[in-house]
Amino acid sequence: MSNGNRASEIAARLRERIETSSAGAKLPGVRELSKEFQASAATVSAALSELTALGLVRAEPGRGTFVANRGQLSEPDYSWQSQALDRARVDANRASRLGGYGTPDHIPLSWGYLAPELVPSEELHRIGSRAAKSSRAWMMTPPAGSPELRRILAAEYRADPNDVLVVSGGQQGLVFAMRTLAEPGATVITESPSYPGAILAAQSAGLELASVPADANGIMVDRLADELERTKARVIYIQPSYANPTGAVLSAERRTQVIELATRYGAFIIEDDWARHLGFEGQTPAPLFTEDPHGHVVSIFTLSKPASPGLRLGAVIARGPAGERLRASRTADDLCVAPIVQEIAHGLLTSNVWPRHLKRLRAELTTRRDALVSMIQSAMPSIRIPSVPQGGIHLWVRLPQGTSTQELSATAYQAGVLIGDGRHFFVDEPPAPFLRFSYGAATEAQMAEGIRRLSEAATD
């Protein structure tokens, strides 16, 4: 056990004792406690410091350590808050399914991030320790981000580095973009099914949502034209490459048409480019951003997907006055992304570890995708897989008509398996019975066990 854990363990034991002691009672001295817990004086001092930080004891130099006076608050009454708070903007049920949900014991058959063994951990440890030693990591960067990092992030988008705003992940980028490109009450059109986090971002910006169906070639442009006409929306949200949840890639023809529509209607396209590095075969289509010189496309990039869920770093890339507004309004939230995180991202993106990691990752994801597809096909033949994704980490499958995905995902949860209830991915239309699986979050052995439990749950 490490020293830190041992200190926390001693602190927990002392906490129990403090709970039954009266304020002002004196704790035994460090020497006595060291003897009692068979621990070094340094470990005991660390435990006492933890209790001091928790406000449970106070140290009086030269006199000892005493139980602090913990004045009890009266029984809380929050009922007034329900009057004060208006209707919630963000759908709490949808929100509860984002990020970390489930317990560490659940098998993640659906989760939007890489499993620990797919993260380049050792390299990140090395790059992280080097970053921590750099003095730049402990100073602020300009609000838009470190100039060196912005230059690297701009390259893939053939953008001017000044058009890049460094943010702490794609989700923050989505909120910034939705909030800055439209005023509360305006409408954002999103392809459907879509990423629930984008729906939440729109809700938190006070926007109305309109949906346009997507098929294997991405958003259906005729329907998009109708919806732009009907709603007068000036913001469209799409994921052109390996969409979450469908895996769809916007076809070359539709890419041109979407940009033409945005031009005709004077609209912005928020391009959620989260899977930029996750195309398996050949090249991921270039960002839509590179086909639009006039500032209609605002791209959102993230490192949390191809590198590590804990590397909370992304970018919003936007040209013209919209970009200026985005960069100006970010200081209302936060003055910059933690410089040490920017330093690590820069170190990763400029090291030879990065292309090596991506190559290995794509190969491994391809293997896991194939394994998951064949496990589903053999264990649950009534599930239909409309298309096998060529990139990204998600697999979108259809269940027989009439299946309740809500019930099935709840039963699976009880059986220790996380699956994505398709209902959360539909924007506003009545959902068809779909599930989202992911092949990046679990090992093949975990997937096999998860599918076994799920097929049992489905037949119960």
Ligand X SMILES: Cc1ncc(COP(=O)(O)O)c(C=O)c1O
CA angle 374-379-381, nearest 5°? 85
Judged by CB under 6 A, does residue 304 bind ligand X? yes
From 61-69, 82-90, 165-173, 319-327, span contacting ligand X (CB under 6 A) = 165-173
Least CB distance to ligand X at residue 235 (A): 16
Rule CB under 6 A: which of 244-263 touch ligand X? 244
Least CB distance to ligand X at residue 100 (A): 11
Which of 299, 273, 348 minimizes the C-alpha distance to 159?
Answer: 299
Judged by CB under 6 A, does residue 272 bind ligand X? yes
Closer residue to ligand X in complex, CB, 136/362 = 362
**Owner of token pair 């040490």:** 340
Least CB distance to ligand X at residue 112 (A): 3
Judged by CB under 6 A, does residue 169 bind ligand X? yes
Rule CB under 6 A: which of 228-247 touch ligand X? 239, 244
Judged by CB under 6 A, does residue 314 bind ligand X? yes
Count of residues of this chain found to bind ligand X when the rule CB under 6 A is applied: 13
From 77-85, 121-129, 166-174, 414-422, span contacting ligand X (CB under 6 A) = 166-174
Pair 238, 219: CB distance under 8 Å: yes
Instruction: Please give the Cα distance from 245 to 391 (Å, whole number).
Output: 11
Rule CB under 6 A: which of 118-157 touch ligand X? none
**Residue 102 burial (10 A CB sphere; 0-12, 13-18, 19+):** middle
Instruction: Please give the Cα distance from 241 to 217 (Å, whole number).
Output: 10
Judged by CB under 6 A, does residue 170 bind ligand X? yes
Closer residue to ligand X in complex, CB, 48/348 = 348
Query: Which residues, 6 or more positions from 267, have their beta carbon under 8 angstroms from its beta carbon?
Result: 228, 233, 234, 235, 236, 261, 296
From 163-171, 213-221, 324-332, 335-343, span contacting ligand X (CB under 6 A) = 163-171
Judged by CB under 6 A, does residue 274 bind ligand X? yes
Least CB distance to ligand X at residue 316 (A): 11
**Count of CB atoms situated within 10 Å of the CB of 199:** 27
DSSP class of residue 26 equals: B
Instruction: Please give the Cα distance from 227 to 214 (Å, whole number).
Output: 13
One of 65, 141, 146, 171 touching ligand X (CB under 6 A): 171
Judged by CB under 6 A, does residue 112 bind ligand X? yes
Helix axes of 147-156 and 339-349: crossing angle, nearest 10 degrees = 50
Closer residue to ligand X in complex, CB, 237/354 = 237
From 68-76, 169-177, 180-188, 227-235, span contacting ligand X (CB under 6 A) = 169-177
Which of 198, 266, 259 minimizes the C-alpha distance to 427?
Answer: 198
Q: What is the largest CA-CA distance in the chain?
A: 79
From 11-19, 149-157, 168-176, 254-262, span contacting ligand X (CB under 6 A) = 168-176
Handedness of CA 246, 250, 254, 256 (dihedral sign): positive
Least CB distance to ligand X at residue 300 (A): 7
**Count of CB atoms situated within 10 Å of the CB of 368:** 21
For residues 379, 383, 388, 393, the Cα torsion angle rounded to the nearest 10 degrees is -80
Tell me if residue 405 falls in helix, strand or coil: helix
Least CB distance to ligand X at residue 178 (A): 12
One of 197, 347, 433, 440 touching ligand X (CB under 6 A): 197
The site for ligand X (CB under 6 A) is made up of 112, 169-171, 195, 197, 239, 244, 272, 274, 302, 304, 314
